[in-house]
């Protein structure tokens, strides 16, 4: 994911938005396999943005992910959906 590590923050943000648009197009076409691939591209683009803003080691990015996971768990986001 370092190919675009030289991007500015704003250029990388636009890259993420363009990937999100590709997700939306795939979902509109009900092409869920392609949507899943595009979601992977979004994740990779977000990982690159983390790198750009200073979280350059894997351990730093993992620390941020763990913070988010704990926050989301506390909010109940990891619980099964009620039907």
For residue range 15-70, what is the model confidence (pLDDT) as tens digits? 999 999 999 999 999 999 999 999 999 999 999 999 999 999 999 999 999 999 99
- For the CA atoms of 25, 27, 28, 29, what is the dihedral angle to 10 degrees? 90
Cβ(25)–Cβ(39) under 8 Å? no
pLDDT given at position 82: 65
pTM, full prediction = 0.86
Task: Tell me how far apart the terminal alpha carbons of the chain are, to the nearest angstrom.
Answer: 38
Cα 41 from Cα 56, distance rounded (Å): 19
């Amino acid at each position: 994911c370092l190919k675009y590590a030289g991007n500015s923050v704003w250029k990388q943000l636009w890259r993420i938005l363009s990937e999100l648009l590709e997700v939306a197009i795939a979902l509109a076409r009900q092409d869920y396999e392609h949507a899943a691939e595009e979601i992977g591209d979004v994740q990779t683009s977000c990982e690159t943005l983390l790198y750009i803003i200073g979280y350059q080691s894997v351990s730093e990015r993992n620390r941020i992910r763990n913070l988010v996971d704990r926050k989301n768990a506390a909010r109940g986001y990891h619980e099964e959906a009620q039907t």
